[in-house]
């Protein structure tokens, strides 16, 4: 998406009859999301949060499509900025615009500015959702995402590494709940931004212990250095989503972990099958 995309020039899309039916909805999630490769992806993050957003919005203009932009809780800044309190959509964030993380954090803020400006200037039906920490099946492994890496290491009886101390906490919202919230927002008259996430704060040591127990693993929990991209994020105030969208997360942590473990166990088994079958 860092280059303009001409859908009519892609033969594989002919069967979707874009020329005649157009596009009704665009969901923009494009952005590198590998904590372990964060430094190498800084330019890609800049482009994804600027040029790619503009290109996606121009496509929405071309087809008069509804547009959903996926933003992030990082726009609020760190927990310290808000004193550990939950953050609502009306809260202003403070972000260091020249830090090593700025290409992502400040980039997400600039992307919101782009979407809001296009909506006001061109009258686009453009909406924004601010996702907090989401987890679930099909997350990439060995990329610094703690939940899938916890599960895979537990299945192999390897150490579970928490990139932070024993007090490192996070909110965790299961992916199907997040999708439900996004779809409700798209179908509503609300433009956003709207917080989507869990208001429950959990210690990652407790999450790791649950995974060890559920996988019947002999793994140990160890603490490593914090990754630049893996920080304690703010907790969301989801009052707006509850009152305007009738949304709240319904999948509890235990159920979500069970589904995530089952998926990763299956994926791991498939990858380990002999290739000459």
CATH code: domain of residue 48: 3.40.50.720
Q: State how far the Cα of 181 lies from the Cα of 105, in Å rounded to an integer.
A: 23
Mind listing the pLDDT tens digit of every residue in the chain (277 residues)? 666 778 888 888 888 888 888 889 999 998 877 777 777 888 988 899 999 999 999 999 999 999 999 999 999 987 665 566 799 999 988 888 888 888 888 999 999 999 999 999 999 999 999 999 999 998 877 776 889 999 999 999 999 988 777 888 889 999 999 999 999 999 999 998 999 999 999 999 999 999 999 999 999 999 877 765 566 778 999 999 999 999 999 999 999 999 999 999 887 665 555 555 5
Q: State how far the Cα of 81 lies from the Cα of 235, in Å rounded to an integer.
A: 12
Supply the pLDDT for residue 229. Answer: 59
In a domain, 37, yes or no: yes
User: 37: how many CB neighbours lie within 10 A of its CB?
Assistant: 14
Token duo for residue 244: 């305007």
Q: What are phi and psi of 223, to 5 degrees?
A: -115, 130
Q: What are phi and psi of 98, to 5 degrees?
A: -125, 20
Three-state SS for 58? helix
In a domain, 225, yes or no: yes
In a domain, 141, yes or no: yes
Q: With contact defined as beta carbons under 8 Å apart, do 87 and 73 qualify?
A: yes
Q: Which of 63, 76, 104, 121 is catalytic?
A: 104
Q: State how far the Cα of 229 lies from the Cα of 105, in Å rounded to an integer.
A: 10
Share of the chain residues as helix, strand and coil, in percent rounded to the nearest 5: 45, 15, 40
- Burial string for 57-82 (b: 16+ CB within 10 Å, else e) reads bebbeebebbbbbbbbbbbbbbbebb
Supply the pLDDT for residue 192. Answer: 87
Check if 118 is active-site.
no
**Please, is 263 exposed, middle or buried when counting C-beta atoms within 10 Å of its C-beta (0-12, 13-18, 19+)?**
middle
Token duo for residue 139: 């997350």
In a domain, 10, yes or no: no
In a domain, 257, yes or no: yes
How is residue 16 annotated by DSSP?
G
User: Containing domain of residue 40, as a range?
Assistant: 24-272
Provide the whole-model pTM: 0.87
Token duo for residue 14: 């002919």
Instruction: Name the CA radius of gyration of the chain, rounded.
Output: 20
Q: State how far the Cα of 31 lies from the Cα of 29, in Å rounded to an integer.
A: 6
Provide the Cα torsion 180, 183, 184, 186; round to 10°: 160
Domain count, the chain: 1
In a domain, 6, yes or no: no
Q: State how far the Cα of 127 lies from the Cα of 96, in Å rounded to an integer.
A: 26
User: 25: how many CB neighbours lie within 10 A of its CB?
Assistant: 14
Residue 193: cis peptide before it, omega within 30 degrees of 0: yes
In a domain, 57, yes or no: yes
Give me the residue label for tokens 């305007």: 244
């Amino acid at each position: 998406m860092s280059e303009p995309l001409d859908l009519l020039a892609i033969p594989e899309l002919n069967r979707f009859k874009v020329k005649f039916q157009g596009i009704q909805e665009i969901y923009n999630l494009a952005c590198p999301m590998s904590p372990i490769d964060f430094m190498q992806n800084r330019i890609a993050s800049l482009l994804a949060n600027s040029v790619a957003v503009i290109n996606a919005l121009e496509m929405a203009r071309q087809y008069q499509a509804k547009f959903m932009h996926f933003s992030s809780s990082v726009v609020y800044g760190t927990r310290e900025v808000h004193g550990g309190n939950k953050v609502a959509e009306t809260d202003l964030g403070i972000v260091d615009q020249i830090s090593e993380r700025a290409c992502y954090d400040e980039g997400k803020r600039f992307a919101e500015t782009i979407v809001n400006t296009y909506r006001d200037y061109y009258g686009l039906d453009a909406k924004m959702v601010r996702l907090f920490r989401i987890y679930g099946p099909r997350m990439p492994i060995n990329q610094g995402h703690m939940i899938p890496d916890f599960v895979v290491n537990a299945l192999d009886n390897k150490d579970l590494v928490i990139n932070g101390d024993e007090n490192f906490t996070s909110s965790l919202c299961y992916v199907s709940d997040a999708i439900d919230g996004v779809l409700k927002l798209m179908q509503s008259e609300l433009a956003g931004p709207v917080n989507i996430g869990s208001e429950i704060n959990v210690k990652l040591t407790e999450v790791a212990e649950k995974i060890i127990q559920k996988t019947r693993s002999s793994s140990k929990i160890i603490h490593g250095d914090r990754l630049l991209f893996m920080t304690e994020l703010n907790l969301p105030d989801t009052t707006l989503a509850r009152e305007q969208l009738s949304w709240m997360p319904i999948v509890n942590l235990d159920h979500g972990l069970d589904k995530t473990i089952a998926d990763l166990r299956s994926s791991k088994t498939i990858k380990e099958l002999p290739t000459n079958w």
